[in-house]
Amino acid sequence: MKPRATWPALVAAAMALVAGVAAPDASAQAAWPSKPIRIVVPFPPGGTTDILARAAAQKMAEAWKEQAVIDNRPGAGGNIGAELVAKAPADGYTMLMGTVGTHAINASLYAKMPYDHVKDFAPVILVAAVPNVMVVHPSVPAATVAEFIAWAKANPGKVNFASSGSGTSIHLAGELFKTQTGLAMTHVPYKGSAPAIADLIGGQVQVMFDNLPSALPQIRGGRLRALAVTSRERANALPDVPTVAESGLPGFEASSWFGLLAPTGTPREVVVRVNAEIARWLASSDAKDKLASQGAVAAGGSPEDFASHITAETAKWQKVVRESGAKVD
């Protein structure tokens, strides 16, 4: 007959069992990523959000030898893609390349939002800041902002401005321009910069306040004419192009930014690892030079820095939306 196990022996056995059960979880976390990571881009391919997401995905794949897949989910000013990530499993395998639209503007602009841009997301890292640029079709008889205003006032009801979607900084830049100039321009929203730029080049619309990285190739190729940039200072990529503020509208500013976010509840270890890897890349001369050549400025910082940025930008754009009177039902 076997002797009964003593109380200390039972405790030891129980602790060993618990350790055995816990071990797989610990090793699973340490092994992240063990499958492809999905980065949702809430706009079509070819725009600035897509360009930056693909650059980040490449660095993540190089660092962890695991594929990072881009999933373009355009529509509703970025809300469709953002909602998808907000409701995705918080396991570290789904992230969003968020924008000033999805995480600052839309909360004030849309009458009803399908997600809470603060509560439903864990900020990972601010990737880049991007000025917008006011571009016109070559047929528009204006080489400066002042000339454009004069032409638009002489052609009431005939000027359409394109955007990458309602709620984007591209849209709000146009609304702010309308407010400060008194121009009657019709907003034509698209599902991203690429299709909007295509129609602008084709002459279906006359003007757009596009993100500089996606507009720059068309400007350099002579297919579009740049009149001004919407940032406080001139863009290094277009040093001869003045700011809108310099062009007669003091105080005008409507720039964009882009950053990685994950669903709330994503393991802190994953958020920290992604932040560290992307921050390391953004601090490199390679990233700074590459982004600068495209008209973007490398950002960085901690997840907490990004969260504070979102809070400040939400308040800023809430004021712009209120003053412009822009709304989306």
Q: What is the CATH number of the domain that holds 164?
A: 3.40.190.10
Q: Is residue 14 in some structural domain?
A: no
Across the range 24-30, mean pLDDT stands at 45
Contacts of residue 290, Cβ cutoff 8 Å, sequence gap at least 6: 55
Question: Is there a single domain that holds both residue 175 and residue 150?
Answer: yes
pTM: 0.81
Question: Is there a single domain that holds both residue 136 and residue 109?
Answer: no
Q: What is the CATH number of the domain that holds 288?
A: 3.40.190.150
Q: How many CB atoms lie within 10 A of CB 160?
A: 16
Question: Is there a single domain that holds both residue 145 and residue 194?
Answer: yes
Helix (H, G, I), strand (E, B) or coil at 70: strand
The last residue of one of the domains, among 229, 244, 265, is 229
Contact 163, 171 (CB under 8 A): yes
User: Is pLDDT of 43 > 90?
Assistant: yes
Q: Is residue 71 in some structural domain?
A: yes
Question: Is there a single domain that holds both residue 151 and residue 289?
Answer: no
What's the mean pLDDT when you consider all of the chain? 89
pLDDT tens across 60-109, in order? Answer: 999 999 999 999 999 998 999 999 999 999 999 999 999 999 999 999 99
Which segments within the chain are labelled E, that is strand?
37-41, 68-72, 94-99, 121-130, 132-136, 160-163, 186-189, 207-211, 225-229, 256-263, 297-300
Question: Is there a single domain that holds both residue 172 and residue 260?
Answer: no
Question: Is there a single domain that holds both residue 259 and residue 121?
Answer: yes
Which of the four pLDDT bands, split at 50, 70 and 90, describes residue 47?
confident
User: Is pLDDT of 255 > 90?
Assistant: no
Which of the four pLDDT bands, split at 50, 70 and 90, describes residue 182?
very high
> How is residue 67 written in tokens?
């594929």
pLDDT of 30:
55
Q: Is residue 136 in some structural domain?
A: yes
Q: Is residue 141 in some structural domain?
A: yes
pLDDT of 25:
43
Question: Is there a single domain that holds both residue 77 and residue 155?
Answer: no
Question: Is there a single domain that holds both residue 155 and residue 216?
Answer: yes
Question: Is there a single domain that holds both residue 137 and residue 121?
Answer: no
User: Is pLDDT of 10 > 60?
Assistant: no
pLDDT tens across 154-171, in order? Answer: 998 899 999 998 888 899
Domain span at 144? 132-229
Q: How far is CA 32 from the centre of its chain?
A: 25
pLDDT of 241:
97
Question: Is there a single domain that holds both residue 148 and residue 121?
Answer: no
Amino acid code (one letter) for 1: M
What is the maximum span of the chain, computed from C-alpha positions, in angstroms?
106
Q: How far apart are CA 36 and CA 93, in angstroms?
A: 7
pLDDT tens across 265-323, in order? Answer: 999 999 999 999 999 999 999 899 889 888 889 999 999 999 999 999 999 889 888 88
> How is residue 148 written in tokens?
């454009």
Question: Is there a single domain that holds both residue 120 and residue 52?
Answer: yes
User: Is pLDDT of 1 > 70?
Assistant: no
Q: Is residue 24 in some structural domain?
A: no
Domain count, the chain: 2
Q: Is residue 177 in some structural domain?
A: yes
Question: Is there a single domain that holds both residue 118 and residue 194?
Answer: no
pLDDT of 328:
83
The last residue of one of the domains, among 229, 264, 299, is 229
